[in-house]
Structure 1
Amino acid sequence: MRRFRFLHAADLHLDSPFRGLSEVPRPIREVIRGSTLSALDRLTELAIREGVSFVVIAGDVYDLEDRSVRAQLRFQRAAERLAEAGIGVYIAHGNHDPLDGKQLPWEMPAGVKVFPAGEVETAVVRDPSGREIAHVHGISYGAAQVTENLAERFRVHDRSVFNIGVLHTNVDGARDHANYAPSSRAALIGKGMDYWALGHIHARSVLHEAPYIVYPGNLQSRSMKETGPKGCYIVDVDEDHAVQLRFHAADSVRWLKLTVNLKEAADEQQVKERIEEQLALLREQTDGRPAVVRLILTGRTELHSVLMQTAFLDDVIADWNEREVQLCEQQAGSCFVWIEGCRVRTSGLIERDYWLEQEHFVGDLLRTAAELRQDETALRQYAEELLADLLRSKAGRYLHDHGTRSGGNFLTAQEPDELVECLEQAEEWLLDKLLGGEAG
């Protein structure tokens, strides 16, 4: 068998609507909304530049069952460019773009293979001389909700060639994604594939080697739940079926969280300067990409009470963002750094160790918070009980339905880290109100 190379991507979510951007100025908003399509262009250019034999896409090419015309046209154009370069495309559709969704009758170029629903189909990949180099096995979702373990349908027919399984699946029940086409790592290992090209989980992950079981993550972040570089894998296969993975970032807008330590900041001017210094450094680290940033302010500072009132920070952020809009307009969207929001995680100059030892309400509060941080079950139960009480009021129901502008809202929090974040925010607020900056 000769060496070959392929590209593994998943979860493109083309033309995602990016809900919640209505208040973002139009120049910034348009760049963000076009980011999934721009990421597809980057993927196409990468595949051609790297000289891959074929591209594998493991589900959710589109964001909705009723795919937008814009998304379909852009994908067709990308497929045509790949076909011109002699690169085939193998697609297994997932829960966001099942085969029963509406699609216009576009003619895809030769070399694009869409796997059917209902049964696993095997596509034979040949090198330029006509020799078989790989079998690509795949199955698509016929409808949006697939609860069957589709991995059980996969079979290897010829071990002399490299076998790739393409599947949109939740392996071992990842909690942050719907449990569609559930499978297990052990079952996938036992199927005899050389490489499992998976989709559905948006966090990049290599679950196993020999055989490789790989989630490339989504191609383009769409919220603060998906921070950091996003892209795809270039996979090199040698004569002995040995695999080498190389991740390539393909995102066109990067979503990031930026922690700014305000320890011992003496005044508002120092706060502003530290924030802007860190934002300037971040701009240099995004490889020329625009960025959407959430600020996380930390550190013990006597300005904690000022920061918690948000008015000062609102003005600092508005001033920065106004300049970024101007930059976006002047440079056609290149390399802006847009502040999406800010989370204040600073603390006042309060001697926690002192109060932890006191037989006092403040000491009880700190000890209770510490215990809840260490016990996820107890924290979740506490939050549920408090939520039940609050939802009996009109204000509580409104907050639950609409959230809070500053984030960290336990009324809508689900994950353990979200609950801990809310707990810590409530703890700092209470300490500030109870002690009023008292040191001990």
Structure 2
Amino acid sequence: MIKILHTADVHLDSPLRSLAIRNSALRDVVATATRTSFSQLVDVAISEGVAALLISGDLFDGKERSARTGAFLIGELDRLGQAGIRVFYIKGNHDAENPITGALDLPAHVHVFDARGGKQQLAEDIWIHGVSFADRHAPDSLLPRFHAPVTGAVNIAMLHSSLAGASGHDIYAPCLVADLIASGFDYWALGHIHKRQVHSEAPWVVMPGMPQGRDIGESGPKSATLLTIEHGKIEVREVLSSVVEFVQTTLDVTHVTSDDTLRRMLRQHLTEIRQKITSPVGVVRLRLTGRPPRYWQIIRDKDIWDEQAHELAQATGALWIDKFQVDLLPPETETDTNGASEELAHTMSLIRKEPGFIAIAQEEIETVLQDLPVALRNSLMGDEATRDALLERLTKAGADHVLALMKGVGT
């Protein structure tokens, strides 16, 4: 029996983009999460007694050069070598543009496949095949570069590919799952798509996902894949690896009639999340939805509820709030329909549409955004439609807050 651990898209030292994290201890955990998850995979490889670790591309992240990253990686690879574990690595699109990959003198037990393709014998009846990216862009299929499977052996092929395409991922080394199935290999060790998916079991076509999510868009537990090969047959098991787990969640507060009720619902909801996550730390984006009778009071006290949500999350011992969002609808019937607040609401609605007000508001927004990093500023104000949507969202929130201060008085 031989075991092999398959991972991809490690993105060492890629920043975990959670802008609202306010706790210094958590920031330290988040800052080292990609390294810690990789170290844990090395621990798994050693404890399981695997024969090899497969890294199917994007071990590194982007163009940044870091001697500390290189030193960390060599240390982890040395741990594998001391345990008699070989490493097979193909370069993905991020690796191809990262200068570290060409500068590091990797240990002898690490084999890096080049862009021409090749194969390496792991055991008498097990061969590992792989093709690396030559540069960042790979618009054509890499399948023609693979050597033919070795007859009478278990053949494992490593490929970094977007397959036929996936939401949120650029097209790289495109191919069809049907082409992989028909190729004669017993296991396709894929990489590039950050979400785990087993596309086929006969033969195995496995996208392991990434070992550590980097932001709220990469939510849920992350993992690697453990292969067990015995008598020519392959069994597969998912191995959880994420240190920080991102969670997107909504809480319907339609029936909330008091602060105590809302506080109790928040506490219960966060406790349930804590029980469900598999990682040591959870970073939560929490959105309140519904049409509660206390709509105006909640809007008025949003900052207070934001703080309480942070405190209730931390009280679980493992959760932190990334962002607290209030996305509520006002009651369908209200007692005050002709009073001063309604007149004010009408007036503010008219003001928000005036060209002079819009111009002033746009100028204020642009002044504030100048202090933000360029990438974040562009994401918020990338084009005219995005700018207009941001302006509408902010001015409406401001008007609602003013009304909430009036309508929530004495309650």
Q: Which amino acid aligns with 1:259?
A: T
Question: What are the superposed Cα offsets for residues 216-271 of structure 1, whole Å, 9 maximum, x if unpaired?
Answer: 101101111111110101111221x3322111110111111233232310023322
Q: Which one of 4, 7, 12 corresponds to residue 5 of structure 2? A: 7
Q: Which amino acid aligns with 2:318?
A: F
CA change 1:220–1:288 in 2 (3 A) is closer
Aligned equivalents of 1:397, 1:189: Cα separation in 2: 53
The CA deviation at 1:70 is 2.2
CA change 1:235–1:65 in 2 (3 A) is same
The CA deviation at 1:134 is 1.3
Question: What are the superposed Cα offsets for residues 262-308 of structure 1, whole Å, 9 maximum, x if unpaired?
Answer: 2310023322221122223323333460111011223332133444x
**Uncovered stretches (5+) of structure 1, i.e. residues with no partner:** 127-131, 328-333, 352-389, 413-421
Q: Which one of 282, 302, 318 corresponds to residue 336 of structure 1? A: 318
Please say if residues 119 and 147 of structure 2, whose CA atoms lie closer than 8 Å, have aligned partners that are also in contact: no
Question: What are the superposed Cα offsets for residues 14-52 of structure 1, whole Å, 9 maximum, x if unpaired?
Answer: 111234538633222121011001101110111111121
Report the equivalent of 2:187. Answer: 195
Aligned equivalents of 1:23, 1:300: Cα separation in 2: 29
Report the equivalent of 1:255. Answer: 246
| Aligned positions of 1:310-329 closer than 5 A | 312-321=301-310
Q: Which amino acid aligns with 1:219?
A: P
Report the equivalent of 1:82. Answer: 80
Q: Report the secondary structure of 1:52's partner residue.
A: coil
Q: Report the secondary structure of 1:179's partner residue.
A: coil
| Aligned positions of 1:20-419 closer than 5 A | 21=19, 24-98=22-96, 101-103=99-101, 105-117=103-115, 119-126=116-123, 132-239=124-231, 241-287=232-278, 289-307=280-298, 309=299, 312-321=301-310, 335-350=317-332, 394=362, 401=377, 411=386
Aligned equivalents of 1:312, 1:269: Cα separation in 2: 14
Q: Report the secondary structure of 2:155's partner residue.
A: strand
Q: Which amino acid aligns with 2:169?
A: H
Q: Report the secondary structure of 2:84's partner residue.
A: coil
CA change 1:103–1:209 in 2 (3 A) is closer
Q: Which amino acid aligns with 2:148?
A: V
Aligned equivalents of 1:312, 1:83: Cα separation in 2: 57
CA change 1:62–1:335 in 2 (3 A) is farther
Aligned equivalents of 1:142, 1:312: Cα separation in 2: 55
CA change 1:397–1:160 in 2 (3 A) is farther
The CA deviation at 1:396 is 12
Aligned equivalents of 1:111, 1:125: Cα separation in 2: 11
Report the equivalent of 2:339. Answer: none
Q: Report the secondary structure of 2:320's partner residue.
A: strand
Please say if residues 18 and 215 of structure 2, whose CA atoms lie closer than 8 Å, have aligned partners that are also in contact: no
Please say if residues 196 and 214 of structure 1, whose CA atoms lie closer than 8 Å, have aligned partners that are also in contact: yes
Q: Which amino acid aligns with 1:267?
A: S
The CA deviation at 1:182 is 1.2
Aligned equivalents of 2:20, 2:275: Cα separation in 1: 28
Q: Report the secondary structure of 2:76's partner residue.
A: helix
Q: Report the secondary structure of 1:91's partner residue.
A: strand
Aligned equivalents of 2:92, 2:131: Cα separation in 1: 9
Identity across aligned pairs (percent)?
30
Deviates more, 1:10-19 or 1:95-104: 95-104
Q: Report the secondary structure of 2:304's partner residue.
A: helix
The CA deviation at 1:174 is 1.4
The CA deviation at 1:189 is 1.6
Please say if residues 242 and 279 of structure 2, whose CA atoms lie closer than 8 Å, have aligned partners that are also in contact: no
The CA deviation at 1:141 is 1.4
Aligned equivalents of 1:69, 1:190: Cα separation in 2: 42
Question: What are the superposed Cα offsets for residues 143-183 of structure 1, whole Å, 9 maximum, x if unpaired?
Answer: 11221211222232412111111011011111310101111
- TM-score, normalization by structure 2: 0.78
Q: Report the secondary structure of 1:314's partner residue.
A: helix
CA change 1:320–1:152 in 2 (3 A) is same
Number of positions where the alignment pairs a residue of Structure 1 with one of Structure 2: 359
CA change 1:227–1:54 in 2 (3 A) is same
Aligned equivalents of 2:248, 2:106: Cα separation in 1: 39
Please say if residues 262 and 300 of structure 1, whose CA atoms lie closer than 8 Å, have aligned partners that are also in contact: yes
Please say if residues 66 and 103 of structure 1, whose CA atoms lie closer than 8 Å, have aligned partners that are also in contact: no
Please say if residues 67 and 97 of structure 1, whose CA atoms lie closer than 8 Å, have aligned partners that are also in contact: no
CA RMSD of superposed structures (Å): 3.3
Aligned equivalents of 2:227, 2:35: Cα separation in 1: 23
